[in-house]
């Protein structure tokens, strides 16, 4: 399973090439370091690049698409089938990955000719066209624009909302809101009751915005704040990225980071910042929350989901694959960092397999506490969309017909979502494997166009990967060796043909040329028992996230400190008395644990 690195390992190169196409084997050595774009083409490109632009293109015919659809059908667990395997990974990491994705990418589906998949035209696009056509509204850096808002925004209304996100009368802090009172009861934390995001209803009541102002917005923006009847969407969250309110787990995680910011403000010991007022303290706290977040990505998130030996190698070598990509494509003006297509549209979608159909969410929608009866035995997947900006109305069994804040009985009890050990297997994420939870067969928060064809997540992922001309996994492995001398032992045909997807894999020829997203899941299933990504998945995910942090001169990686000369959580204030050096400590510092 493990691969060896660097000097003395060329003897393993033929094993690394096992399963690669004849075209790859024929052209590997001459292509080392070659970039296909001219300077003129480079200037036209968007914000995404391929790690492996010279890999063989994806073959296409109508049967290929049918085979992909059959594979997608085989991946979704049928209702009533044997209970899915659980991993040893805490559920918080499923959704922390989603938070990270929202922080580094936005608006990537805005170009329908490239990003949006259609049932009528699925032929793979030229890779240069994809690179030219897909834009990113983020810089690519892990800098928490999704939490604080984009500082570069100059639009008057958007700037007004960014200002509204800060606490009136205590402008150094970020604004969070009280739970909506509930006759059913309340979760015990936070004790101050500020367990919800700031929502539009609050700004309307306080007169910070008006319905008339919302109706005067451009049509696409207006639709975000008003329903089809022109009524304000009072439950819309006023946050840096509205996608962080598309499900309740990410929304509560977003809240935790806002509360962490406020905890750092309370503990601020920087005399210079304190002497210059609220804006200076806010900037001081934002910088340290960002460093803590980046540190947790490298030291808590990646170890939780990656193959440990492979991750150690990526860190020790300081992400050479991403460094090579960056050397070929310098950051654009404003420090915009390129994101690899193989990461964004395939490898980093591994988390879809970790989503549970239901969660032990809190004492009201999960295991009861102290003999007090609960409302439901578990919170179902669809419930997590009920009290968010993506919900048209709340679930009828849990609330009244409308709401402007999260009801007090729907706050997260994080102890159930971040267990180091637990006797309850359903307090862990599903295994990273090729079986997806039943709700992902027909996602009710997705459009119904084309007869709901793309409401099945596996079909959408596989078709999008095909349309974006993502190299087959075997060719990715070969190209990784070409570019960085890493040797990855590929899955054998029998390993790829194992499990419930065996027939679909064999019928589609996917045991010889495997869609990258599927391969990353199968590799985790076969090589790590679903408890971590395998070597290829780890390389693509860890190289990218670590590479983005190393490429950012403002990141924690480049700050002096006490961790062998580098900054670490010990080098800043400690809300609650201990350094914020784990997700658990982050939640404790936010007073949510």
**Residue in the structure block whose two tokens are 């001219």:** 38
Three-class secondary structure of residue 226 per DSSP: strand
Closest CA relative to residue 94, chosen from 387, 413, 352 = 352
The more confident residue out of 420 and 200 is 200
3-state class (DSSP) for residue 357? coil
Structure confidence at residue 517 (pLDDT): 98
The whole-angstrom separation of Cα 408 and Cα 406 is 6
User: What is the separation, in whole angstroms, between the first and last Cα of the chain?
Assistant: 38
User: Nearest 5°: phi and psi at 454?
Assistant: -105, 15
Q: What is the pLDDT of residues 451-485, one digit of tens each?
A: 556 689 999 999 999 999 999 999 999 999 999 88
- Break the chain into its structural domains and give their ranges: 10-142+302-356+430-557, 155-277+367-427
- Nearest-CA neighbor of 7 among 542, 490, 487, 540? 487
> Which tokens hold the place of 64?
């290929």
Q: Tens of pLDDT along 399-452?
A: 444 568 999 999 999 999 998 888 898 999 999 999 999 999 887 655 555 455
Percent of the chain with pLDDT over 90: 72
Residue 254 · residue 289 · CB < 8 Å: no
- Is the confidence at residue 396, as pLDDT, over 60? no
| Beta bridge pairs of residue 379 | 359
CA atoms of 407 and 187, how far apart (whole Å):
10
Which pTM does this prediction carry? 0.91
Using CA atoms, how far apart are residues 180 and 472, in angstroms rounded to an integer? 49
Q: Are strands 339-340 and 48-49 parallel, antiparallel or unpaired?
A: parallel
Are residues 153 and 500 in contact, defined by beta-carbon separation less than 8 angstroms?
no
Average pLDDT, whole number, for the chain? 87
What tens digit of pLDDT does each residue of 34-59 get?
Answer: 333 444 444 445 689 999 999 999 99
Residue pLDDT, tens place only, 162-183: 999 999 999 999 999 999 999 9
Closest to 31 measured CA to CA, from 536, 475, 512? 475
Place of tokens 């059908």: 73
């Amino acid at each position: 399973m493990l691969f060896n690195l660097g000097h003395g390992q060329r003897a393993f190169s033929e094993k690394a090439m096992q399963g690669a196409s004849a075209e790859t084997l024929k052209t590997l050595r001459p292509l080392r370091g070659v970039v296909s774009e001219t300077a003129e083409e480079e200037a036209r490109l968007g914000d995404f690049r391929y790690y492996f632009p010279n890999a063989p293109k994806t073959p296409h015919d109508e049967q290929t698409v049918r085979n992909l659809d059959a594979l997608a059908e085989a991946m979704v667990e049928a209702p009533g089938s044997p209970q899915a395997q659980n991993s040893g990974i805490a559920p918080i990491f499923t959704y922390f990955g989603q938070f990270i994705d929202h922080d580094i990418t936005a608006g990537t589906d805005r170009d329908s000719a490239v990003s949006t998949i259609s049932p009528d035209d699925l032929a793979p696009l030229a890779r240069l066209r994809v690179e030219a056509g897909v834009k990113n509204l983020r810089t690519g850096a892990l800098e928490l624009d999704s939490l604080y808002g984009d500082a570069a925004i100059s639009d008057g209304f958007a700037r007004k909302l960014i200002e509204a996100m800060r606490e009136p009368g205590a402008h150094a802090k970020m604004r969070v809101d009280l739970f909506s009172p509930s006759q059913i009861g309340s979760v015990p934390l936070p004790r101050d009751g500020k367990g919800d995001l700031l929502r539009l209803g609050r700004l309307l009541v306080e007169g910070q915005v008006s319905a008339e102002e919302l109706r005067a917005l451009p049509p696409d923006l207006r639709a975000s704040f008003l329903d089809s009847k022109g009524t304000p969407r009072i439950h819309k969250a006023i946050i840096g990225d509205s996608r962080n309110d598309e499900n309740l787990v990410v929304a509560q995680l977003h809240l935790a980071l806002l509360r962490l910011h406020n905890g750092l403000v309370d503990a601020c010991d920087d005399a210079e910042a304190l002497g210059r007022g609220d804006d200076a303290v806010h900037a001081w706290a934002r910088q340290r929350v960002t460093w803590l977040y980046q540190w947790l990505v490298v030291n808590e998130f990646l170890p939780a989901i990656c193959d440990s030996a492979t991750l150690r190698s990526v860190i020790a070598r300081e992400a050479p694959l991403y460094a090579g990509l960056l050397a070929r494509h310098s950051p654009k003006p404003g420090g915009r960092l390129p994101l690899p297509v193989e990461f964004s549209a395939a490898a980093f979608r591994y988390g879809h397999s970790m989503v549970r159909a239901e969660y032990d969410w809190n004492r009201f929608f999960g295991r009861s506490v102290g003999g007090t009866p609960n409302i439901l035995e578990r919170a179902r997947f669809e419930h997590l969309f009920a009290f968010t900006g993506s919900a048209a109305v709340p679930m009828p069994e849990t609330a009244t017909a409308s709401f402007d804040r999260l009801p007090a009985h729907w706050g997260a009890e994080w102890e159930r979502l971040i267990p180091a050990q637990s006797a309850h297997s359903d307090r862990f994420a599903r295994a990273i494997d090729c079986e997806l939870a039943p709700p992902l067969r027909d996602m009710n928060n997705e459009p119904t166009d084309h007869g709901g064809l793309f409401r099945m997540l596996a079909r959408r992922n596989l078709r999008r990967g095909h349309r974006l001309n993502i190299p087959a996994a075997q060719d990715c492995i070969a190209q990784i060796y070409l570019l960085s001398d890493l040797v990855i032992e590929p899955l054998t045909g029998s390993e790829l043909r194992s499990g419930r997807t065996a027939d679909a894999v064999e019928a589609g020829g996917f045991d010889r040329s495997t869609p990258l997203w599927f391969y990353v899941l199968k590799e985790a299933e076969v090589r790590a028992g679903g408890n971590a990504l395998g070597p290829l998945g780890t390389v693509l995910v860890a190289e990218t996230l670590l590479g983005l942090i190393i490429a950012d001169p403002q990141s924690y990686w480049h700050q002096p400190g006490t961790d062998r000369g580098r900054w670490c959580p010990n080098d800043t204030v400690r809300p609650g008395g201990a350094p914020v050096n784990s997700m658990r400590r982050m939640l404790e510092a936010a007073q949510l644990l």
